Amino acid sequence: MSHSRFGPALCLVSMLAGCGGGGGSSSSSGGSTSSAPPPPPPSTAGSGCSLAERQNWAAAQLKEWYLFPETLPSSLDPTPYPTVGDYVDALTATARSQGRDRFFTYVTSIAQENAFYSSGSSAGFGIRLSYDESARRLFITEAFEGAPALAAGLDRGTEILAIGTSASNLVPVASLFASGGSQAVSDALGPSTAGTTRTLSIADAAGTRNVTVAKADYSLTPVSSRYGGKILDDGGRKVGYVNLRTFIDTADPALRQVFAGFRSSGIDNVIVDLRYNGGGLVSISELLGDLLGGNRSRSDVFDYQTFRPEKAANNTQHNFTPQAQSVSATRIAFIGTGGTASASELAINAFTPFLHSASALIGTNTYGKPVGQIALDRAACDDRLRVIAFKTENGAHQGDYFQGLATKMDSTCAAPDDLSHPLGDPAEGSTRTALDFLAGRSCTRIGAAAAVKGAAAGAPEAPRQLLTPDRPNTPQREVPGSF
């Protein structure tokens, strides 16, 4: 999740996000109630773009800003590491072994992040994929409007059986998993560049067939035009349903439109579907809270963001700020999975001190990311260093959920991610369970031993994970499973 509060040199991006439009734009309503002074410009450690200069620069930034400075090595020779990213991974290895920085600190492209966070721009088929590793099966969990896959007839529930560059060299998905695991499947789908073409053998309700589809540039719609905002009828009781794919700038007007409809219909029970949402801009997470919190006082704290002691001047908080479109939610069902992270978890956690058992996590355990990043730019090299620099907490100073939110919430209900029904369909497993919770009907609590990455123990289905390459690009970090 991201939010720039300190200008182009340092962008506050709570969880996963960017700076200046990519993970760091702050041009949303709300914002922090405290105004932190901008920190001094980061040290440059040499102004060139040689590998050694870039590595030294990254190390200097970590020493200056890292939330867990005691875990950094006193010195580490960068020479053996072939990339800046590999060196950063080595520097943060101790915190990673402690479960506090699971590759949350990384190097990415300024241009790529800015394009994604400002408009959702990326190149791909426009699908989200999940897999069952034990069964060696691959499924489309979602297809995005305006992208090539949906135009080719690929949608939620489609199984991909084989992948090739043409029909003559299709490789079964089961063989790819057997030879190289999920990374082999990711590699078979090709690079994230427009024009990359693959032939897929698929199975869906229409039968089994081959489909050839080319990756193209498209802009992700954060709130689907098909199922992003709906009013569901549950036995005569109206329930608002909103599905948010990612926290980017263009989610602002889309969310306002959905909640304006809820408000005009007198909605006070809401399902917030964040099941695949890997995070994004802090400002949009705060807006979502404001839109749900029409009955919250302006003295109620949505979140605290706290740096290490010597950086305390940068600490901020956001108080609930009801908007013209806000509803006064009295019960909220948040749908989540292991792909629900960062800004999504921030929004869910924020309501626990106020709604307690009237706010529930539906589905499986979440990812577990109660820390946030700043974005430090080395513009000449198109390097953006994402550094874990602050912890996030709700208004009751609760924020230690590195193992996910399932054990931190008063109410949870285990439910499947049901690919046999569209998202937002009242018959879909997680949506049905959310409606049951809101109506006061009983459910099974999410297992306390839920896996950090993937589906939870206690979920009534075979576990699936979102397909993510070892080195995801910005869209794949923020929209887990996207290709």
> How would DSSP label each residue in 54-114?
HHHHHHHHHHHH-S-GGGS-S----TT-SSHHHHHHHHTHHHHHTTS-SS-SEEEEHHHHH
Q: Which of 162, 186, 219 is the last residue of a domain?
A: 219
Whether residue 46 is found in the same domain as residue 80: yes
Q: Is residue 415 part of a domain?
A: yes
Domain count of the chain?
A: 3
What is the pLDDT at residue 451?
40
Give the up-direction half-sphere exposure of residue 271: CA atoms within 13 A in the CB hemisphere: 34
CA distance 86 to 161: 34
Q: Is residue 70 part of a domain?
A: yes
Tokens representing residue 416 in the block: 């499947």
Whether residue 19 is found in the same domain as residue 149: no
Whether residue 360 is found in the same domain as residue 457: yes
CB 126 within 8 A of CB 143: yes
Domain extent, residue 18, equals: 10-119
Whether residue 102 is found in the same domain as residue 208: no
3-state secondary structure of 354: helix
What is the pLDDT at residue 463?
72
Q: Give me the residue label for tokens 């943060």.
A: 92
Whether residue 54 is found in the same domain as residue 150: no
CB 394 within 8 A of CB 353: yes
What is the pLDDT at residue 474?
87
What is the pLDDT at residue 46?
60
Q: What is the pLDDT of residues 316-352, one digit of tens each?
A: 999 999 999 999 999 999 999 999 999 999 999 999 9
What is the pLDDT at residue 47?
74
Residues in contact with 470: Cβ distance below 8 Å, sequence separation at least 6, in sequence order: 183, 186
Whether residue 168 is found in the same domain as residue 63: no
* CA 464 from centre of chain: 17
What is the pLDDT at residue 120?
85
Whether residue 214 is found in the same domain as residue 267: no
Q: Is residue 343 part of a domain?
A: yes
Q: Is residue 413 part of a domain?
A: yes
Pairing of strands 106-109, 359-363: unpaired
CA distance 26 to 5: 7
Whether residue 282 is found in the same domain as residue 327: yes
Torsions phi, psi for 195 (to 5 deg): 100, -15
Whether residue 208 is found in the same domain as residue 240: no
CA distance 459 to 454: 11
3-state secondary structure of 124: strand
Q: Which of 164, 195, 219 is the last residue of a domain?
A: 219
All residue ranges of the chain with pLDDT < 70 are: 1-46, 448-462
Whether residue 261 is found in the same domain as residue 405: yes
Whether residue 160 is found in the same domain as residue 240: no
* CA 256 from centre of chain: 20
Q: Which of 119, 135, 166 is the last residue of a domain?
A: 119
CB 411 within 8 A of CB 336: no
